[in-house]
Structures are given as C-alpha cells and as structure tokens.
C-alpha cells in the first residue's frame, strides 16, 4: 500500500498515512485530487478505480471515507477488508466510533493504525492482538510510576 487517507463528506482530511516518500506539496496535491475524485462518485459505484498508475480502493463508513492507494499487483478485495478491519479496531477501541473520536483522539487513531499496518503491509491481523498492544500501552499510561520500576522484560 502506498498511502491511506481518511476524509469526511465535506472533504476534510482526518488522517493521512504515507508509506512512500513524497514531498508535502505532492501529498497535498494527491489528497486534493483524490478527495475530489472519490467524493464525486455515486453510492452504488464500485469501490475500485484506476488513478495514475495506482489502484484506489475506498469505502464509506457513515460520514467518513477510507481510501487506500495500492500498486498494480496488489489485491483490491483484501485491501477493502484491511479498511474494514481498521474500522473494526477503531470501533472496538472507542466503543462505536464516530468521526469526532478520530478528530479529538487523532493520535490514538495513528497508534492503532501502526499496530495494524506497518510500512504499508499488514503486520497483525488479529483484532485481539492489536487491541492488546494498544491496551497495554494505555495501562502503561495509567501507572507510569509503577511502570518505571517494574517493566523490564527478559
């Protein structure tokens, strides 16, 4: 995967993750172009489209669009399910996630994504394992003083 974008129906970018090196200017240009293209599509249309030399896979969940760019050889359907699994993870973590959760806790959305996808590839597809990692981190936050003295793994 080359990048993932989350944006609202109004075209506001909510999360951006780039797995290839691009300049800020290019990123902005790509975002603008893609947001426009995807928002212009009608609801019943298919979730895939060709864009430049990439394949775009997108899906709308409530007010948010999740949009991934993958390479020619990559599998569209499994990417669609990558999106779905990410939504499930957010949902489970926030408890029935909505756009506001992602706005106010954007850093959490990034942390969850990093546990799930790394370098554009699925790192851990088990929902339990991903959430366990995030919850562990949350526990660390709760009791950081304690943590400092105890947590030394083998």
| Least distance CB 36 / another protein (angstroms) | 14
Distance between CA 91 and CA 10 in Å, rounded? 22
| Least distance CB 103 / another protein (angstroms) | 6
99 touches 91 (CB < 8 A): no
State which of positions 50-89 bind another protein (CB under 8 A).
Answer: 50, 52-53, 73, 75-78, 80-82, 84-85
Q: Is 17 helix (H, G, I), strand (E, B) or coil?
A: strand
73 touches 94 (CB < 8 A): no
Quick one: which of 28, 15, 27, 21 has its CA closest to 107? 15
Task: Name the residues that contact another protein, by CB under 8 A.
Answer: 13, 15-16, 19, 21, 24, 28, 42, 44-50, 52-53, 73, 75-78, 80-82, 84-85, 93-95, 101, 103-108, 110-111, 114, 118-129, 133, 135-138, 140-142, 144, 147-148, 151-154
């Amino acid at each position: 995967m080359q990048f993932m974008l989350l944006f609202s129906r109004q075209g506001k970018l909510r999360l951006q993750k780039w797995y290839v090196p691009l300049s800020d200017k290019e990123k902005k240009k790509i975002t603008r172009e893609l947001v426009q293209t995807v928002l212009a599509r009608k609801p019943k249309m298919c979730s895939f489209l060709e864009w430049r030399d990439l394949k775009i896979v997108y899906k709308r969940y409530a007010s948010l669009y999740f949009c991934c760019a993958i390479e020619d050889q990559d599998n569209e359907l499994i990417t669609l399910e990558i999106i779905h699994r990410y939504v499930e993870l957010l949902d489970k973590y926030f408890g029935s996630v909505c756009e506001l959760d992602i706005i106010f806790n954007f850093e959490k959305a990034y942390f969850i994504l990093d546990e799930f996808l790394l370098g554009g590839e699925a790192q851990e597809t088990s929902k339990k394992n991903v959430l366990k990692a995030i919850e562990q981190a949350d526990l660390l936050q709760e009791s950081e003083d304690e943590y400092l003295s105890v947590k030394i793994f083998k």
